[in-house]
Chain A
């Protein structure tokens, strides 16, 4: 162990230096400019009055970021999961290939004759010739061939880095082909260099879905309580578990944006009476635009964790305000908790007091703190790859966020009230009276209000900072992604992938919580870490050589 541990337990409740010192140590190696930039992206938390964090700013070149690109945020995350749209990547082969089944947004066909296109990777496989002479002709031909081959209901086209540079106009190609083939065809200008991360792609995707799909089908939905779940991508079956619970309560989901969802459901989802938002970062644009256009109110929910799930169910019931629903929700909670409680009690015996750190995309670094809390574990540090200040500090900072040069070119849609359809539901009055009684709409308090005082918040964490964090505090588990997983585990710390769930799940809702508790229990109590040292290295000289190895290993 390092010298710093001689201080005993620090403010984080674990052995190690003070978090302020830790921040110093993380920053000291950096060149001056990098140090200044990174210094703005980390802070000691104050849950009462969250401090300003330098989020959603450009990545420092060469720092080893976890971040991906705008194409990944648009095609990979938001639109890609819609299973009966045929998705064509316009670009060289890589982008389409890497986003082929690598996110676990699960899908099943629900109606006879449907096709799940997510098992396919489709691309224009751009060659040098298209770079030189333009790729519009090939894109048109690819759309024709795709239609001939699969006869889909809709086709979407995604731009990659070179497309913007060579000046292919994918939107005019889509318009022409829509006319020619008579199906819905639309494009997304989600070139990888736009914005500073996946986040730009979310925004571009939201705009495209709103313009090209939402509101196309006005068929009324026969159900008493009709809602949409926004920003839920059904990783490992999460959306199915949420759907199961809501069904038990008698609540009907028209559309989940966009895990396991079909094209028709999205076109029809403006018939709902309420939008609830899971992933605030990726879909808050849609929630706002749907409210402006159709008058559908929204609020934030969290179906990750027991308290979050209960709170979310109760809030939905309170919104509809009918006793029948409020009672039913309590019955469901009681029945589900009867199953969960013994698991929590058992697992807590081993997890109580253990520590975790979370560095995940743009929402789970917050959501999963609930699940760790359920197990009596402490989150000592957390951060997002690409969230904005509102996800850290809460939506009340929105008016104060400055849009910088890197994000300025991401289109903001001008949305107006739909004169005919705005008043289709009776929500406006209900919303008003609820608000008067203290009910929060369009709310998100952000991650930092939930984190303990002086915990470390690190935005767009670098490889170096992650290594330092482990060296200083050796958390019992880290939640992160595939690129970090084996780095962290080589350092003797288990890493739970909170993007792919390590190919398990669901982790949402009640049954998901059980899965997660058992998984974290396994990972934090596995014997493998005790097997690392060979028995012949266990004598005194062996330990000396291990220390030497440690000194050599530090980078």
Chain B
């Protein structure tokens, strides 16, 4: 396995090997799926759209429908206006969505298609029905990563749709960032338990975890509705989770509709969930109900019960910045030692945050943005760790390193199903993560210990 990987690290300036990121449009597609009745549209050649749909489908085991402008060589030279106009006509006639959310690819970005102009012309020419909406975002694949695409889609949706009526409502906007449908469901549960009226955007629960009924719905029940998207401009506050995913959208709404924004980390782990609950408490001027206190207490109880197994265990992590920041904090909180934390997404801010979090326990932590899994692997060969956390691609590293305990975390997870069913956010999600960590350690012991050392009780 990965026999070409040696422990010798050479500096690479041009070659990316085993990336810890992918490109913008898939993030835009995912965010657009969190809008009710929305068809994501990829303005580029059709390969991108096929790849993005396939990869999201492999992750969720659910239908992921999107349309494409299907550029040919001619359109690539002369511009994609005719393709997008034809596409909009076909989409509304055949598939009747409430809304189409256009994103771009490197192709249409390089040729410089003016999407708002094309949309305006299509509207004028009657290719877009009167009661239908087309929005767009620019998602050049050669800038940032899939997370950037998610962020761009969220900010653009607000730019197009959110309005301020001048009357502030007693509603809080929750931007969950790029998390799973199960996480979005958990965030809604917690906000509900706190007694708050909220609007969650985007919301892929009941879209990418829809039930089997024997009937296919192209536009499932879930997703933030148009009314909600418009009404977000009247909310009294936005709580934006995950700076990279949600800050741009929150700032856009602040600028556009004067809704004050509070940006916090993704509520993964103890302290980040505390911050989320506290933000809800302060925003709503409510007290935290006893049931949430109990949930938190059960988490702290498990941390203390299992402390001996976590203490100073070295962990290597890779994935997306917002996820990694919260997860690194959680690992530090339970007594573990994040040793190397790698993201493919560019941005020095990420490296600073990781260093801050680890300052007390491991000032030598290696934190790298715009890096890759190949580098992470080579580093592990030189500095063995006890645990690896990351998306499915980590399994090859784990196997190459003699079945290093490995926990799937982040996007994409192509070879397990739990991520779509159970949250990792909130206290409940943190309990699940702890269970996974202890299971990974215990499974390794049970498998590798000699007979006389196998324990009945752990």
Q: A-side interface residues toward B, CB under 8 Å? A: 29-31, 33-34, 58-72, 88, 91-100, 102, 109, 115-117, 119-128, 130-131, 138-142, 144-146, 148-150, 160-162, 164-166, 191-196, 405-406, 409, 462-464, 467, 481-483, 485-487, 489-492, 529, 532-533, 549-550, 553, 555
A64 with B67: CB separation less than 8 A: yes
B57 within 8 A of A: yes
Task: Report the separation of the CA atoms of residues A192 and B141 in the bound assembly, to the nearest whole angstrom.
Answer: 14
State the 4 A-B residue pairs at the shortest beta-carbon distance, nearest first: A69-B47, A62-B87, A94-B23, A141-B14
- In the complex, chain A residues whose CB is within 8 Å of the CB of B72: 58, 193, 195-196, 406
A193 with B45: CB separation less than 8 A: yes
A141 with B13: CB separation less than 8 A: yes
Task: Report the separation of the CA atoms of residues A60 and B84 in the bound assembly, to the nearest whole angstrom.
Answer: 11
A98 with B91: CB separation less than 8 A: no
State how many angstroms separate the Cβ of B192 from the closest Cβ of chain A: 25
B45 with A142: CB separation less than 8 A: no
B44 with A161: CB separation less than 8 A: yes
B2 with A121: CB separation less than 8 A: no
Given contacts A92-B106, A119-B396, contact A149 B17 (CB under 8 A): yes
**Nearest CB in chain B to that of A145: its residue:** B15
B237 within 8 A of A: no
State how many angstroms separate the Cβ of A79 from the closest Cβ of chain B: 16
- In the complex, chain B residues whose CB is within 8 Å of the CB of A149: 4, 10, 12, 15, 17
Task: Report the separation of the CA atoms of residues A99 and B41 in the bound assembly, to the nearest whole angstrom.
Answer: 21
- In the complex, chain B residues whose CB is within 8 Å of the CB of A160: 106
Residue of B2, B15, B87 contacting most chain A CB atoms (<10 Å): B15
A145 with B107: CB separation less than 8 A: no
11 CB-based A-B contacts, threshold 8 Å: A63-B67, A92-B140, A93-B141, A100-B393, A102-B58, A121-B19, A145-B14, A196-B72, A483-B50, A486-B61, A486-B63
State how many angstroms separate the Cβ of B380 from the closest Cβ of chain A: 16
- In the complex, chain B residues whose CB is within 8 Å of the CB of A139: 14
Task: Pick the interface stretch among B213-221, B296-304, B349-357, B425-433.
Answer: B213-221
A93 with B21: CB separation less than 8 A: yes
A162 with B142: CB separation less than 8 A: yes
A491 with B54: CB separation less than 8 A: no
Given contacts A94-B26, A161-B106, contact A486 B86 (CB under 8 A): no
Given contacts A64-B65, A102-B54, A196-B72, contact A490 B145 (CB under 8 A): no
- In the complex, chain B residues whose CB is within 8 Å of the CB of A195: 72-73
B45 with A98: CB separation less than 8 A: no
Task: Report the separation of the CA atoms of residues A166 and B140 in the bound assembly, to the nearest whole angstrom.
Answer: 15
B90 within 8 A of A: yes
State how many angstroms separate the Cβ of B387 from the closest Cβ of chain A: 22
B4 with A150: CB separation less than 8 A: yes
Given contacts A64-B65, A196-B72, A555-B95, contact A165 B107 (CB under 8 A): yes
B164 within 8 A of A: no
- In the complex, chain B residues whose CB is within 8 Å of the CB of A482: 54, 57-58
- In the complex, chain A residues whose CB is within 8 Å of the CB of B53: 483
Given contacts A120-B18, A487-B216, contact A555 B96 (CB under 8 A): yes
- Interface contacts beyond A62-B90, A555-B96: sample of 13 additional A-B pairs, CB < 8 Å, sorted by A: A64-B67, A65-B46, A70-B47, A94-B25, A95-B51, A97-B23, A102-B54, A120-B4, A123-B15, A124-B15, A125-B19, A144-B14, A553-B217
B90 with A31: CB separation less than 8 A: yes
Q: Quick one: which of A130, A490, A529 contacts B210, CB cutoff 8 A? A: A490
- In the complex, chain A residues whose CB is within 8 Å of the CB of B393: 100
Task: Report the separation of the CA atoms of residues A63 and B68 in the bound assembly, to the nearest whole angstrom.
Answer: 8
A492 with B46: CB separation less than 8 A: no
B439 within 8 A of A: no
Task: Report the separation of the CA atoms of residues A485 and B56 in the bound assembly, to the nearest whole angstrom.
Answer: 13
Task: Report the separation of the CA atoms of residues A64 and B66 in the bound assembly, to the nearest whole angstrom.
Answer: 7
B107 with A94: CB separation less than 8 A: no
A161 with B10: CB separation less than 8 A: no
Task: Report the separation of the CA atoms of residues A427 and B86 in the bound assembly, to the nearest whole angstrom.
Answer: 53
Task: Report the separation of the CA atoms of residues A329 and B8 in the bound assembly, to the nearest whole angstrom.
Answer: 52
Given contacts A69-B45, A193-B45, contact A92 B216 (CB under 8 A): no
Given contacts A102-B54, A483-B57, contact A145 B12 (CB under 8 A): yes
- In the complex, chain B residues whose CB is within 8 Å of the CB of A127: 142-143
B110 with A131: CB separation less than 8 A: yes
**Nearest CB in chain A to that of B344: its residue:** A93
B232 within 8 A of A: no
- In the complex, chain B residues whose CB is within 8 Å of the CB of A192: 44-45, 47-48, 107
- In the complex, chain B residues whose CB is within 8 Å of the CB of A120: 2, 4, 17-18, 374
Task: Report the separation of the CA atoms of residues A406 and B72 in the bound assembly, to the nearest whole angstrom.
Answer: 7
Q: Quick one: which of A66, A98, A148, A409 contacts B73, CB cutoff 8 A? A: A409
Task: Report the separation of the CA atoms of residues A125 and B371 in the bound assembly, to the nearest whole angstrom.
Answer: 11
Task: Report the separation of the CA atoms of residues A124 and B66 in the bound assembly, to the nearest whole angstrom.
Answer: 28
- In the complex, chain B residues whose CB is within 8 Å of the CB of A491: 214-216
Q: Quick one: which of B15, B41, B52 contacts A62, CB cutoff 8 A? A: B41
State how many angstroms separate the Cβ of A362 from the closest Cβ of chain B: 14
Task: Report the separation of the CA atoms of residues A463 and B90 in the bound assembly, to the nearest whole angstrom.
Answer: 12
- In the complex, chain B residues whose CB is within 8 Å of the CB of A549: 213, 215
Q: Quick one: which of A94, A144, A464 contacts B48, CB cutoff 8 A? A: A94
